[in-house]
Amino acid sequence: MNQQVRGENPKVQPVGSAVIDPGKQAVLLAALYIAQEQKGYLTPEAVERVANRLGLRPGDVYSTASFYTLFRTEPVGHYLIQVCDGLSCYLCDGADRIAGYVGAKLGLKPGETSPDGRFTLEMVQCLASCGTAPAMRVNDQLYENLTPAGIDAIIERLMGEV
């Protein structure tokens, strides 16, 4: 019905399929991970490509992507430093203190990316490292039992790698 109405008006083009294939919908999260790999975030073009490929509406794909914190719709630094903001990390002198320490070294506040695009610093929810707190993650590498000296070594190595 809706498709017919749309079809009658040349200005209104059908977007996506009228019938959603549950099998294709189910691989959406996996598809978004792949789409995000190229640029480190989901560009509008990437969202549209995923939608077309799976027969979904771009708006629905964007809606789902925006629900999950691991999908990004904004550019992110080459190294994404995520400091655990969990209660156990806070109790073990982590969280804000770690973020402050890392931030001072890089000249960043949580939520900021360095102008050269090398580093993004942010706070994240509990990383399930409470027994080895404080913790932070750089891209897909988890660092636990953090100390100032340990952080110095990590940042120095990353600086050398870029």
Measured from the CB atom, the residue of 62 and 119 that comes closer to another protein is: 62
Nearest to 66 by CA among 41, 34, 38, 39: 41
CB of 48 to another protein, least distance (A): 17
Measured from the CB atom, the residue of 6 and 76 that comes closer to another protein is: 76
Measured from the CB atom, the residue of 63 and 147 that comes closer to another protein is: 63
Q: Return the sign of the alpha-carbon dihedral for residues 131, 136, 141, 144.
A: negative
List interacting residues with another protein (CB under 8 A).
22, 24-30, 32-33, 63-64, 67-71, 85-88, 90-92, 124-133, 137, 140, 142
CB of 107 to another protein, least distance (A): 26
Measured from the CB atom, the residue of 3 and 66 that comes closer to another protein is: 66
CB of 61 to another protein, least distance (A): 10
Measured from the CB atom, the residue of 6 and 73 that comes closer to another protein is: 73
- What's the rounded Cα separation, in Å, for the pair 116 and 149? 25
- How many Cβ atoms sit within 10 Å of the Cβ of residue 56? 22
CB of 141 to another protein, least distance (A): 8
Contacts of range 101-106, beta carbons closer than 8 Å, 24 or more positions apart: 101/148, 101/151, 102/136, 102/151, 102/155, 105/151, 105/152, 105/155, 106/81, 106/155
- What's the rounded Cα separation, in Å, for the pair 157 and 83? 18
CB of 159 to another protein, least distance (A): 23
